[in-house]
Amino acid sequence: MKKTIHINLGGHAFSIEEDAYERLDAYLKAVKTKLGESDEAKETLEDINLRIAELFRGVHSDAGSAITLSDVEEIIKTLGDPGDYEAPDDPDESKANKESFEPPIRKQLFRDADNRFLGGVCGGLGNYFGTDPLLFRLLFILATLFYGTSLLVYIILWIAVPKAVTVQQRIMMMGGAPGSESWRRRQMNRNSGTDIANGILRVVAVVFGVILILTSFVSLMGLILSFSITDMLFGTLFSHGTWIPELGSLFLLPDQQWTGFIGLALTLGIPMLVVFYLGMHLVFRFKKGGPAFLITSLILWLAGIGLITYTGVSVAGGFVNKVDVEERKTLDIPDTDTIYIEPNEASLKLGEGQHIFSNDGVSVKRRNGELVLVGTPDIEVIRSEGDFKITIRKEARGKDGERAMKNANMIEYFFLQNDSVLLLDRYFSVQNLAMMRQQEVDVTIQLPKDKEVKIADEFKYLIDID
């Protein structure tokens, strides 16, 4: 078991193993001896201490883990031997010497694990371009809200750009050589050169975050209210008719209604909740819980998409099978020369009832305080060699043959013969408000060739005479 020592380096507390401390202390003393006691030498040594602390934080972001001897050796290898440093006797000569010893380190793009909200992409971009990562976070949020594609770009960058883990990677991410003149200038000017710009950017971020919070909060409340007062809302939207709560049951089974409702709530609500969270993050700049929240939100949003897809596939499955049922009857041939086709007075009259909704030729109407499901039949009159017959074909769909047959048998269409008068229903109806499954009725009337036919005005647009 190794002894651990607690030290303060560059204003940061670290835990370091005893042998690692001795190696680091010897290195810093050697550098100090090489640089001398001038003010510029003290400044350079302070910069080196700050850089070592920064590198330590990159390797050990957890304050509870101890720095090992191998960590110190790697940092010393990166910073260079004490003999590489020249005592700055002459400022101009010192500057030239320092620049001659500055190893060329190419700046590269890495994800910054120490400055991340989700994957560290924006932190890495901020380091690469020398600006506050907040700018890139704002750009990603704006692009996501208005174009919807930046989320995919972020995920691609998250996968493609490596995370800065080692000391060397962090140096390449930050750019420059620790202890060099150019690095020292950046350290000295890091705050003074960007404070004003970052301050303005911070104000913009707070204002934008407040806008996101208010917008998403109002949207969430509107979504909750729309689900809570569906009847009132749709009653306003369908001002030409009447909205009824039972309308959903005409298309969806009870379990489909629930999966569709939950799926729709998640699909619409989760993005609004994420926008609210992002607004809070821009205003209060909290860091904990971001990845877990966003990943959970993504899972719930995908679950909502899955539920809507499942509901759609399930509803579509209710139309897979088609069944038709035929009813045929031979009628009495009247003695008169003319056969009359007239509407059955007991049936729903044209235009009667309050129209609510129509789909695939079938309408929902309210009549005498009750809801009725009605449709217009297709009627055809053909000539025959002497037969007087009527054929009624009822058609409907269902998820299987049995269900389709049941839907077809629930269709009601009546006719009545009174001597030379054939009375037909104006509409066909569906019992007990069964689900709308593309119900259809085709009526074929066979008339003897020697008989004339006279059709009532209400049927002229429905009947096709061959």
Report how far apart, in Å, the C-alpha atoms of 338 and of each of 190, 421, 446 are: 103, 9, 14
Residues 6+ positions from 252 with CB-CB distance below 8 Å: 260, 311, 315
For residue 247, pLDDT beyond 70? no
Query: Rounded CA gap, 333 and 329, in Å?
Result: 12
Kindly state the tokens that stand for 172.
């390449």
Amino acid at 54: E
- CA geometry: angle at 362 spanning 360 and 368, to 5°? 155
Write the pLDDT tens digit of every residue in 43-76: 778 878 887 887 777 666 555 678 888 888 888 8
Which range of 53-57, 87-91, 102-106, 371-375 scores highest in mean pLDDT? It is: 371-375
Instruction: Report DSSP letters for 327-361, one per residue.
Output: EEEEPPPPSSSEEEEEE-TTSPPTT-SEEEEEETT
Tell me what the pLDDT averaged over the chain comes to: 77
Confidence of residue 190 (pLDDT cuts 50, 70, 90): very low
Q: Label each residue of 373-437 as H, E or C.
A: EEECCEEEEEEECCCCEEEEEEEEEECCHHHHHHHHHCEECCEEEECCEEEECCCEEEHHHCCCC
Query: Rounded CA gap, 174 and 185, in Å?
Result: 14
pLDDT at 389: 92
Write the pLDDT tens digit of every residue in 11-41: 777 888 888 888 888 888 888 888 777 777 7
Confidence of residue 7 (pLDDT cuts 50, 70, 90): confident
For residue 451, pLDDT beyond 80? yes
Rounded mean pLDDT, 143-161: 75
Query: Rounded CA gap, 12 and 373, in Å?
Result: 77
Confidence of residue 307 (pLDDT cuts 50, 70, 90): very high
Residue 309 φ/ψ, nearest 5 degrees: -65, -45
Write the pLDDT tens digit of every residue in 171-183: 677 765 444 444 4
Residues 6+ positions from 36 with CB-CB distance below 8 Å: 87, 88, 89
Amino acid at 69: L
Residue 95 DSSP SS3: helix
Q: Which among 11, 70, 35 has a CA at the least distance from the CA of 179?
A: 35
Write the pLDDT tens digit of every residue in 349-374: 655 667 777 777 787 877 776 777 88
Residues 6+ positions from 442 with CB-CB distance below 8 Å: 377, 378, 380, 392, 393, 395
pLDDT at 195: 58
For residue 100, pLDDT beyond 70? no
Rounded mean pLDDT, 201-214: 83
Write the pLDDT tens digit of every residue in 388-408: 999 999 999 988 989 999 989
pLDDT at 233: 45
The single residue listed with the structure tokens 């509803």 is 315
Residues 6+ positions from 47 with CB-CB distance below 8 Å: 178, 179, 183, 184, 187, 188
Rounded mean pLDDT, 428-439: 79
